Every structure is written in C-alpha cells, then in structure tokens.
Amino acid sequence: MGTLLTDDIDVLAKAKSALETDYVPSDDEEYMSEKQQDYFRMLLLEWKKSILESANATLQSLQDGPIREADLNDRASSETEWGIELRTRDRQRKLVTKIDSALRRVDEGEYGYCDKTGEPIGLKRLIARPVATMTVEAQEAHERREKISRDD
C-alpha cells in the first residue's frame, strides 16, 4: 500500500495514460484555447473515473467479508492497512469534489485562471495538478497567511 500522495499521483498518471489523445497543451498556443479546455475536461473526467473505479474496488473488498486473521498481530496489521485505505478513499472523495469544481470552471470559461489574482495559472502547474485554483505565487502567499494564523 502506497502513501496518500503516491496514490494520488498514480491515479492521475493512470488518467493521463488513458486519454485517447497524443495532444499535450503547449505554451506555443493561445492560453486556454478551446483545444486546451477540451484536453483538461477529458483529463479531469478520466481522473474522476479512475478514482471512482478505485473506490468501488475498495467497497467491493469491504463487502467481501471482514478481516478474520487468526494471529492478533496479523489482524492488527490488516486493520491498520484498511484504516489507511479508508483514509485514502476519503481523501479521494474530497478530490472528486475539487474535480467537479474544476469541470464547472472549464464549462464557465474560468478554468486556468487564479481565483485570487485572475492571472493565468500556467500549463505546467495545471498538467501537474489539474485542480489547481491559484498560481504558485498566490498559493505560497495563501499558505504563509495560513501558517501565521495557525501560529497565533
């Protein structure tokens, strides 16, 4: 079982490889052209589909029966693994909400622009994190403010 971040990256990589296109957005094109918006819409939909398939597999495993390890150590290990798996699925459930929000922004023509500054987020950032809502600079400033308010 991988870490949460590794699982997210793996699922996104799976979604990218499942796209039925060789097209990759480029800085040589008009930013957020119709072709780029279509690419990100397809990527987001494929990512969501991969997450939901993974969640259904987890649900099926849970329904197949409870953990019945004879050895207490084995049972504890199995329960720990299930706990991690369930936390991963909860995290991915929240990610589906972000994907739905990104799809709405694509439909409304707002996708790819920072919520705080209105500046382009950038293709490299969107390819790496398709649900990004802020530029790197705005995200860093947001995280600094968050840290300061937590420290108070």
- The 10s digit of each residue's pLDDT in 1-32 is 444 455 666 778 888 888 878 888 999 999 99
User: At residue 51, does pLDDT exceed 70?
Assistant: yes
Q: CA 109 from chain center: how many Å?
A: 20
CATH entry, 4-112, from 3.10.129.10, 3.40.50.2300, 1.20.120.910, 1.20.1260.10:
1.20.120.910
Q: What integer pLDDT is reported at residue 1 of this predicted model? A: 43
User: At residue 84, does pLDDT exceed 90?
Assistant: no
pTM of the model: 0.78
Q: What integer pLDDT is reported at residue 148 of this predicted model? A: 87
Measured distance CA(114)–CA(122) in Å, rounded: 9
State the DSSP H helix or E strand holding residue 56, giving kind and residue range, or none if neither.
helix 34-63
**Residue 46 burial (CB count, 10 A):** 19
Q: Are 61 and 67 in contact (CB under 8 A)?
A: no
Position with higher pLDDT, 20 vs 146: 146
Measured distance CA(136)–CA(140) in Å, rounded: 6
CA atoms lying within 13 Å on the CB side of residue 118: 0
User: At residue 143, does pLDDT exceed 70?
Assistant: yes
Residue 112, both tokens: 């790819």
The answer for 112, left when phi > 0, alpha when psi is -120 to 50, beta otherwise, is left
Position with higher pLDDT, 19 vs 135: 135
Measured distance CA(91)–CA(8) in Å, rounded: 9
- Sign of the torsion angle spanned by Cα atoms 8, 9, 14, 17: positive
pLDDT band at 149 (very low <50, low <70, confident <90, very high): confident
